């Protein structure tokens, strides 16, 4: 085979690896378009993410295919597109509220915005928050987190969670039997406290900036403030649902070295494609600086029974969730 033919095959192979991750942009692009259109269109993201995505997630199955050595230029563009979309969607929502007020249709837009900023915010802020400190990518992650009132996440995640994951002291790791509702109410204040303990000056500035933003929005229009806080609440719930899912019931001792058995893995294609390999969580924890396209599967990691979109619904029914998770942990 000549060099030109080989390069062509490599290019096509690379295209096939990054193209599926474009699917993750469906929800944010759809949300933005529907906020512009207004009316009942603003509920389309809810139907898509909470109904169609779980069905697709269950239908397309799993794959253990990875390529830890692949080049990541296109992947890098994709994650930055997610990052840019988050504040743009929030601004579009606030403009819609200023035009229509808080009608029933606009409340659909609020929830849709939270689903989009939560999903895109998870993949972008999490990925870019591990980039070089104060780089352009890092600042984009900060902007995304400000858009959902969760600026402390970068400090807590990088300096507390990655140090103590799967230990009782980690507020994002939940023990067997804890339901997602109690976990959500417990983990948020504990994470703020953890961020304060790790970096008090950074966390204090973050809280002041968020407070200033809320005061500014209230001064513009209380309805805008209410819509902004509500979409942030939806987004934060998605972030903490993912945390809840990724480490539930898995523990290690204070002196025990972390390994792949201390985080849940999911190989479900739709979750992997649309969430930029976030379900390959053990690989991320074993080397946090690894870009998402180079994460690998681990045969020793416990496997989630379904992808993230299906598990979202199952987690809302604690007895079913606990039974399924314990059965998979025993395998």
Query: Is 1 among the domain residues?
Result: no
Q: How far apart are CA 315 and CA 279, in angstroms?
A: 16
Q: What is the 3-state secondary structure (H, E, C) of 75-134?
A: HHHHHHHHHHHHHHHHHHHHHHHHHHCCCHHHHHHHHHHHHHHHHHHHHHHHHHCCCCCC
The mean per-residue pLDDT over the stretch 266-285 comes to 95
Q: Which residues pair with 268 in a beta bridge?
A: 62
Query: Is 13 among the domain residues?
Result: no
Q: Which of 73, 127, 101 is nearest to 288 (CA)?
A: 127
What confidence tens digit (pLDDT) does each residue in 238-249 have?
999 999 999 999
Q: How far apart are CA 114 and CA 236, in angstroms?
A: 8
Residue 292's CB: how many other CB atoms inside 10 A?
23
The mean per-residue pLDDT over the stretch 13-21 comes to 70
SS3 of residue 176 by DSSP:
coil
pLDDT at 282 over 50: yes
Query: Is 9 among the domain residues?
Result: no
The mean per-residue pLDDT over the stretch 213-220 comes to 98
pLDDT at 279 over 80: yes
Query: Is 3 among the domain residues?
Result: no
For the full predicted model, state whether its pTM sits above 0.75: yes
The mean per-residue pLDDT over the stretch 316-326 comes to 97
Query: Is 103 among the domain residues?
Result: yes
- pLDDT classification of 10: cutoffs 50, 70, 90: very low
* Measured CA angle at 101 (ends 97, 104), to 5 deg: 100
Residue tagged 């023990």 (tokens): 175
Q: Which residues pair with 303 in a beta bridge?
A: 265
8 Å CB contact between 118 and 179: no
- pLDDT classification of 67: cutoffs 50, 70, 90: confident
DSSP string, 186-254: HHHHHHHHHHHHH-HHHHHHHHHHHHHHHHHHHHH-HHHHHHHHHHHHHHHHHHHHHHHHHHTT----T
Tally of residues, the chain: 331
What domain range includes position 189?
A: 23-60+72-329
Query: Is 203 among the domain residues?
Result: yes
Number of domains in the chain: 1
Q: Which of 239, 267, 235, 271 is nearest to 21 (CA)?
A: 271
DSSP string, 117-184: HHHHHHHHHHHHTTSSTTSHHHHHHHHHHHTTT-TTHHHHIIIIIHHHTTSTT-TT---TT--HHHHH
Query: Is 149 among the domain residues?
Result: yes
pLDDT at 42 over 70: yes
Q: How far apart are CA 124 and CA 30, in angstroms?
A: 17
Structure tokens at 13: 């192979």
DSSP 160: I
Query: Is 199 among the domain residues?
Result: yes
What confidence tens digit (pLDDT) does each residue in 167-176 have?
999 999 999 9
Residue tagged 């990541």 (tokens): 72
Predicted local distance difference test score (pLDDT) of residue 35: 98
Q: Is the CA virtual torsion 300, 305, 306, 310 positive or negative?
A: negative
Does residue 5 or residue 292 have the better pLDDT? 292
């Amino acid at each position: 085979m000549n060099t030109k033919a080989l390069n062509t095959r490599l290019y096509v192979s690379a295209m096939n690896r990054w193209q599926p991750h474009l699917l993750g942009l469906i929800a944010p692009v759809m949300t933005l378009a529907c906020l512009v259109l207004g009316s009942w269109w603003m509920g389309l993201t809810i139907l898509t993410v909470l109904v169609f995505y779980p069905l697709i997630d269950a239908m397309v199955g799993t794959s253990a295919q990875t390529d830890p050595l692949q080049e990541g230029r296109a992947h890098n563009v994709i994650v930055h597109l997610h990052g840019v979309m988050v504040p743009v969607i929030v601004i579009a929502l606030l403009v819609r509220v200023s035009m229509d007020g808080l009608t029933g249709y606009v409340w659909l837009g609020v929830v849709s915005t939270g689903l989009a900023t939560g999903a895109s915010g998870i993949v972008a802020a999490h990925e870019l928050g591990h980039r070089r400190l104060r780089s352009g990518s890092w600042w984009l992650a900060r902007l995304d987190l400000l858009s959902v009132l969760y600026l402390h996440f970068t400090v807590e995640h990088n300096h507390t969670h990655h140090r103590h994951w799967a230990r009782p002291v980690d507020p994002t790791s939940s023990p067997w039997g804890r339901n997602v509702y109690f976990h959500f109410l417990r983990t948020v204040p504990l994470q703020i406290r953890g961020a304060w303990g790790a970096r008090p000056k950074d966390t204090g500035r973050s809280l002041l900036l968020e407070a200033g933003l809320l005061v500014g929005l209230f001064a513009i229009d209380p309805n805008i403030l209410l819509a902004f806080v509500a979409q942030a609440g939806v987004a934060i719930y998605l972030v903490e649902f993912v945390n809840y899912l990724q480490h539930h019931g898995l523990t290690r001792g204070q002196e025990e070295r972390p390994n792949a058995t201390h985080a849940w893995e999911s190989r479900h294609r739709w979750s992997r494609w649309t969430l930029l390999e976030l379900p390959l969580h053990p690989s991320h924890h074993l080397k946090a600086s690894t870009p998402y396209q180079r994460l690998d599967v681990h045969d020793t990691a416990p496997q989630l029974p379904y992808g993230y979109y299906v598990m979202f619904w199952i987690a809302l029914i604690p007895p079913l969730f606990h039974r399924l998770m314990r059965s998979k942990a025993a395998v």
